C-alpha cells in the first residue's frame, strides 16, 4: 500500500513526464536518489489518461523490470505519445487530462479445466487478467470490470482484444491473474 504522499508523488511524476514529453520529445529522466526507497523498488504499472472523462491513452508494463518511478515516467510518456489508438498529446490538452496509475501485483497463472471453470473462478472488480494463446496476448486491468461487469463478457472482450474471436477456446489458452493498487 502506498501512502497518500507516495501516491501524490507518483501522479506528479506522471504529469511531469507528459510535460517533459511535449517540451523534449521523451520521458522525463529519473534520478533514483531523489525518490523514497519504496518508490525505487522494481514494479510494473499502467498509466491511464482521460480527457474530459474519455480514455486518452493507456500504456503499461505487465512485469516488473525497472524501478517503479522509472516505469511511471516511461509509461506516462508512452500513454501520451505512443498509444497507437490516439494522436500524440498536445500541450493544449494538458489542463483537461486526469491521470490514474495502477501498480500491478506479480501475475499468477490460473488453473482451470474449461472455460466455464475459469469464468467461475473470476473475481469481478478485483482481477486483472492476461490472456495468452500462441502469439495472441491481451490484458484488462481490474478497472475494466466497470464497463464489463459480467465474467463471461469480460473474458469474451479480452479474447477480442487479443485478436481472437469471442467464442475461441482451446487447451493452449493461458490466463494469468493479477491485482492492482490504483489511484488518481
Asked if pLDDT for residue 1 goes beyond 90, the answer is: no
> For 4-104, CATH number?
3.30.700.20
Grid cell at residue 89: 498529446
Strand partners, 109: 176
Distance, in Å, from the CA atom of 73 to the CA atom of 1, rounded to the nearest integer, reads: 20
| Residue 53 falls in which region: left (phi positive, over 0), alpha (psi -120 to 50) or beta | left
Please, are residues 174 and 124 in contact by the beta-carbon 8 Å criterion?
Answer: no
CATH 3.30.700.20 in the chain is located at 4-104
Model confidence pLDDT, tens digit, residues 79-94: 999 999 999 999 999 9
Please, are residues 100 and 184 in contact by the beta-carbon 8 Å criterion?
Answer: yes
C-alpha distances out from residue 11 to 5, 70, 113, 124, 153, Å: 10, 13, 41, 26, 31
pLDDT of residue 44: 97
Model confidence pLDDT, tens digit, residues 50-106: 999 899 999 999 999 999 999 999 999 999 999 999 999 999 999 999 999 999 999
Fold classification of 108-183 is Dna Ligase; domain 1 (3.30.1490)
Model confidence pLDDT, tens digit, residues 111-156: 999 999 999 999 999 999 999 999 999 999 999 999 999 999 999 9
Whole-model pTM? 0.94
CATH 3.30.1490.150 in the chain is located at 108-183
Amino acid at each position: 500500500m502506498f501512502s497518500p504522499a507516495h501516491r501524490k508523488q507518483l501522479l506528479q511524476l506522471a504529469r511531469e513526464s507528459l510535460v517533459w514529453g511535449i517540451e523534449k520529445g521523451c520521458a522525463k529522466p529519473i534520478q533514483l536518489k531523489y525518490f523514497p526507497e519504496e518508490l525505487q523498488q522494481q514494479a510494473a504499472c499502467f498509466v491511464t489518461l482521460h480527457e474530459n472523462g474519455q480514455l486518452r491513452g493507456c500504456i503499461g508494463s505487465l512485469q516488473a523490470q525497472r524501478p517503479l518511478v522509472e516505469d511511471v515516467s516511461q509509461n506516462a510518456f508512452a500513454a501520451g505519445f505512443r498509444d497507437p489508438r490516439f494522436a500524440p498529446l498536445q500541450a493544449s490538452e494538458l489542463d483537461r487530462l486526469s491521470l490514474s496509475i495502477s501498480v500491478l501485483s506479480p501475475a499468477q497463472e490460473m488453473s482451470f479445466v474449461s472455460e466455464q471453470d475459469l469464468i467461475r473462478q473470476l473475481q469481478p472488480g478485483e482481477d486483472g487478467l492476461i490472456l495468452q494463446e500462441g502469439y495472441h496476448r491481451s490484458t484488462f486491468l481490474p478497472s475494466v470490470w466497470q464497463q464489463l461487469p459480467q465474467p463471461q463478457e469480460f473474458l469474451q472482450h479480452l479474447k477480442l482484444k487479443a485478436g481472437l474471436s469471442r467464442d475461441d477456446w482451446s487447451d493452449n489458452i493461458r490466463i494469468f491473474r493479477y491485482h492492482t493498487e490504483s489511484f488518481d
